[in-house]
Amino acid sequence: MSISDNIASVQDEIASACSRVGRNTDTVKLVAVSKTHPPEMILEAIDAGLTDFGENRVEESQKKVPQVNEQVANAPTWHFIGHIQSRKAADVTALFDVVHSVDRIKIARYLSDKGQEQDRHLSALIEINISGEDAKYGFNGYNWQIDQRVRDALWQNIRTMLDLPHLDIRGLMTMAPFYDKMETTRPIFAGLAELRDELQSSLGIALPELSMGMTNDYPVAIEEGATMIRVGRAIFGERQ
């Protein structure tokens, strides 16, 4: 299967998931996760019509992003989806358009400060750990519906981030744990969507984006309201 065949079958899956819940397919953005793969594969995906790519390592992106950009008429939109080290914040704001992985206040402040220095505004999604899994990054959102302390801390942190001048908070992101049956992820995605709705109404703000769903679980994420799915293996194959 070629990259363009893979993209076509992911797009078919997106269309079926959308039709199951009465959504329009153009409400779901496919972010192709190109981490570990060379520029040539990204260029193939661009030829097949993709416009959005996700990377998770700054060092790798410093070479790849300019290599790809200089070979195409219109540079794609670059999404950073990995954990950000403080000392790399300036590189993230310089190279990327959207950050999905704002997982602590300190890094949100750094990104806004570096954006200010570089005269850039970064679109940002707040990463929430809904599942409570220890291994996951993100603000704690486990049981936010019933745990008042979790809820208070989350609300306070989000208010703080909304005030940062060079960070444009566009929504929420989560990662589900790996399960054998993708159906098991549904409450996690539904919980993130519910949290988004609650934040919008209680804070009177717009949080249009929900970044959720990967190769293993994106159809369920779409059914639960994902506006961005981050798909790597289903497009580029297994990583080394």
Binding residues (CB under 6 A) for ligand PLP: these are 33, 35, 56, 81, 175, 214-216, 230-233
Residue pair 53/76 in contact by the 8 Å Cβ criterion: yes
- The smaller minimum CB distance to ligand PLP, of residues 35 and 121, is found at 35
- The smaller minimum CB distance to ligand PLP, of residues 126 and 231, is found at 231
- The smaller minimum CB distance to ligand PLP, of residues 5 and 152, is found at 5
- The smaller minimum CB distance to ligand PLP, of residues 170 and 230, is found at 230
CA distances from 126 to 4, 66, 103 (A): 31, 26, 6
Give the residue among 82, 163, 91 at the shortest CA–CA distance from 120: 91
The residue to which tokens 């993708």 are assigned: 182
Sign of CA dihedral 37, 43, 47, 53: positive
Residue nearest to ligand PLP (CB): 232
The residue to which tokens 């992820």 are assigned: 185
CB of 138 to ligand PLP, least distance (A): 10
CB of 217 to ligand PLP, least distance (A): 9
CB of 240 to ligand PLP, least distance (A): 12
Lookup: tokens for 28? 């779901």
Cα 51 from chain centre: 15
CB of 75 to ligand PLP, least distance (A): 21
CB of 175 to ligand PLP, least distance (A): 6
- The smaller minimum CB distance to ligand PLP, of residues 2 and 74, is found at 2
Phi, psi of 194 (to 5 degrees): -65, -40
